[in-house]
């Protein structure tokens, strides 16, 4: 019975995540959602700035703190190991939902592109970015990243096995394609408003910090990551930067 409940919790967390992910695309792109990043401003600029910074900080702290091994060890003293990832996914989704609900649009246009070809290019890169995000999760292991594999193994009374370090497809061109996808999704817009710029700058800064923390854990768990880090660029797949494994460092 407990295993069924654990599985139901994991499945529910996954559904909440997936709907939140879809809403995030609509929110950032101002498409198909009741309130987007650029809906009409409701409060004075300074209030909006403080609220939005608080919402971004809430997500950053939740997302990075709960991902650390010491936090996972602590929380699994109170909840079953099998739902640790689902709990992380659920908490991340709730932090994002709070951001969508309380986000304060700020008006003000930083840039507005009118040239139809350039608009089409930006919109294509926006869509491409979100596709890269989703496909990267499958290259690592989509169902493990979002907690379903853990509750499924638990349901079948099978032990959990850690994910292996992998570098398929996009991961051989840059170490963080998923974050590259987010950056495209956040920056590629024909109309950049003040609120959107704040969001893009905040999330970019957060991604750069999160990479440092994530790579520290990856090196601890997979020592071969050090060699991968020397060989493969971090985010931007710079042509020529990629070197064969064990090739000497460029001067």
Ligand X SMILES: C[S@@+](CC[C@H](N)C(=O)[O-])C[C@H]1O[C@@H](n2cnc3c(N)ncnc32)[C@H](O)[C@@H]1O
Q: Determine if 163 is a binding residue for ligand X (CB under 6 A).
A: yes
CB of 199 to ligand X, least distance (A): 19
Piece of the chain touching ligand X by CB under 6 A; list 22-30, 89-97, 150-158, 171-179: 171-179
Q: Among residues 7, 23, 27, 171, which is the contact residue for ligand X, using CB under 6 A? A: 171
Q: Can you tell me the distance from the alpha carbon of 220 to that of 2, in angstroms, rounded to the nearest whole number?
A: 33
Q: Among residues 136, 154, 189, 193, which is the contact residue for ligand X, using CB under 6 A? A: 136
Q: Determine if 160 is a binding residue for ligand X (CB under 6 A).
A: no
Q: In terms of C-beta density within 10 A (0-12 exposed, 13-18 middle, 19 or more buried), how is residue 75 classed? A: middle
Q: Using CB under 6 A as the criterion, what x/- string covers residues 185-224 for binding ligand X? A: -----------------------------x---x------
Q: Determine if 179 is a binding residue for ligand X (CB under 6 A).
A: yes
Residue 202 near residue 150 (C-beta atoms within 8 A)? no
CB of 242 to ligand X, least distance (A): 15
Q: Determine if 166 is a binding residue for ligand X (CB under 6 A).
A: yes
Q: Can you tell me the distance from the alpha carbon of 194 to that of 192, in angstroms, rounded to the nearest whole number?
A: 7
Q: Which residues bind ligand X (CB under 6 A)?
A: 136, 140, 145, 163, 165-167, 171, 176-179, 214, 218
């Amino acid at each position: 019975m407990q295993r069924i409940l654990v599985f139901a919790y994991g499945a529910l967390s996954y559904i909440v995540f997936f709907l939140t992910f879809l809403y995030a695309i609509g929110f950032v792109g101002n498409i198909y959602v009741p309130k987007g990043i650029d809906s009409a401003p409701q409060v004075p600029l300074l209030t909006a700035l403080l609220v939005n910074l608080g919402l971004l900080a809430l997500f950053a702290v939740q997302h990075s703190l709960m991902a650390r091994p010491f936090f996972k060890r602590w929380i699994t003293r109170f909840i079953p190991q099998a739902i640790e990832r689902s709990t992380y996914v659920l908490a991340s989704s709730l932090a994002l939902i709070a951001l969508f609900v309380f986000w304060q649009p700020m008006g003000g246009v930083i840039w507005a592109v009118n040239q139809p070809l350039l608009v089409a290019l930006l919109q294509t890169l926006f869509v491409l970015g979100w596709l890269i995000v989703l496909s990267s999760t499958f290259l690592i292991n989509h169902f493990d990243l979002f907690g379903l594999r853990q509750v499924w193994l638990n349901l079948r009374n099978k032990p959990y096995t850690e994910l292996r370090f992998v570098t398929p497809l996009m991961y051989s061109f840059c170490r963080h394609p998923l974050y590259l996808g987010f950056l495209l999704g956040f920056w590629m817009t024909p109309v950049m408003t003040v609120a959107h710029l704040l969001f893009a700058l905040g999330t970019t800064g957060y991604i750069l910090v999160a990479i440092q923390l994530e790579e520290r854990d990856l090196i601890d768990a997979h020592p071969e990551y050090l060699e991968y880090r020397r060989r493969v660029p971090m985010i931007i797949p710079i042509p020529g930067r990629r070197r064969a494994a064990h090739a000497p460092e460029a001067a």
